[in-house]
Structure 1
Amino acid sequence: MDRTYLDSIGSAAVYLKSKGIEHPAVGLILGSGLGELADEAEDSIVIPYEDIPGFPVSTVEGHAGQLVYGTLGGKKVLAMQGRFHYYEGYSLESVTFPVRVMKALGVETLVVTNAAGGVNSTFNPGDLMIISDHINFTGVNPLMGKNESTLGPRFTDMTEAYDKEYQKLIRECAEAQGLSVKEGVYFGLSGPTYETPAEIRMIRTLGGDAVGMSTVPEVIVAKHAGLRVAGISCITNYAAGMQANLDHAEVVEVTTRVKESFKSLVKSLIEKL
């Protein structure tokens, strides 16, 4: 990590402050088909990624590619409508750059969401899963290379990657809404191919309940930066070998179907944070 990267974080933060973004308490990363939640923020300021110094641009269908600042659940939030992925050809420094900028702006809590394939045989498309932990099987780590001590420690403790108190809050919010939620381990792979049936059998054996191509790098960097993290997956399909075939259109269709319960759950969580 070099001086240029640190300067880029500072430049992005200065630019966003100049646009009226002040003291956001909660950062939100909204995955495929889930970005509509940010549209409900009150008194919002919307900034396209391409306008922000140092920001990459999202290339995935179902990702709007903009930052939304406003009030949601009574808190000032900074929401990413669409994220960046390693499989798009970005370095992990670029993938996680927005998390660094959120920290620089004062964010203390990060809520990550994603669309994921259900590996656990008790899960069904449309289920929401509280992420209790993750397995990084991407083969890479965003903290590799020279550590910048002003951003976080050389060795980051991942014992509680997903805040246990926040997990409890999500369960309470779901219960209050009469919403049944699952709980499990998110298994992170690099993508962009979907997994083979043999890989899914391996993931199940290793303890994965849901599988996806995002989230893990951002959470690692959030913990490095000292943020508290809550995570929710939308189970959009049965994993390979559990249904006939896999395609991204199904991911977007299922997230569209469950978006109302997803939005109400995240909003009530933000209220309680």
Structure 2
Amino acid sequence: MKLLRHGPAGHERPGLLDAEGHIRDLSALLDDLTPRTLAPEVLQVLGALNAARLPIVEPGTRLGVPWSGIGNYVGVGLNYHDHAAEAGLPIPAEPILFAKWTSCICGPNDDTLLPEGANQLDWEVELGVVIGREARNVSERHALAHVAGYCLTNDVSERGYQIARSGGQWSKGKGFDTFGPIGPYLVTADEVGDPQQIDLWLDVNGQRMQTGNTRHMIFSCAQLVSYCSRVMTLRPGDLITTGTPAGVGMGLKPPRYLKAGDVVEPGSGMLGRQRQRVTALPHIPPAEM
């Protein structure tokens, strides 16, 4: 089952994608897709619905983040062998975690706003793991039982703030507004099956830049959920983005970064496609102290 939210930003309504590719509206049955909706028993009820009886949403309607109420938005760094190699960094012995501020989240096709003065804007297609049941100190063996589903993410990154201006941590370069496009769908775990067999790709201005598969992750989804649950309590609605394969702009020789007008299109045969246009922010004079 592919769950989604459609409509203007801040006024999204719940929906799902039917077998024919039509978006069906769920708002007569649910006010929203929330962390409570991600419970296994609720997903089972939704999966049993006859989608053909639900209203069709007008094609071209904006899609938002597929569910509301994200509490923890956890990023994982250097989790593909080829990406670690292109970055010239050693394979990590434990998962590298960083936070993405929840204010960065946006719909899968919303514009990416280029921060003023930023000149190292980069792309990272990733698999997102969506928590459906609270997880605290769970074993790797039982970790995926706490997962409601999976989604496509683009871990947009400003490398200057992430590295040269980081102050010793990455989150500053990962959390600008619009740096967290999610969706278009939350694909339930039963439909995905094995999350370590998912193709990912990303195009910039129509040119393929990234091609990867989650089987090449250093730490699997089960390992990441288990590890994260040992350093924080994961609650329904939380999101873990699991790292990116090789092909980011920083890893090219010479590096290539995004500028206003560029179009970024992450995709996955299992998870759907995104499309973001990079847009420059208008100049804002500094506030008087």
Structure (1/2) with the larger helix percentage? 1
Tell me the TM-score normalised to structure 1 length. 0.30
Which of the pair has more CA radius of gyration?
2
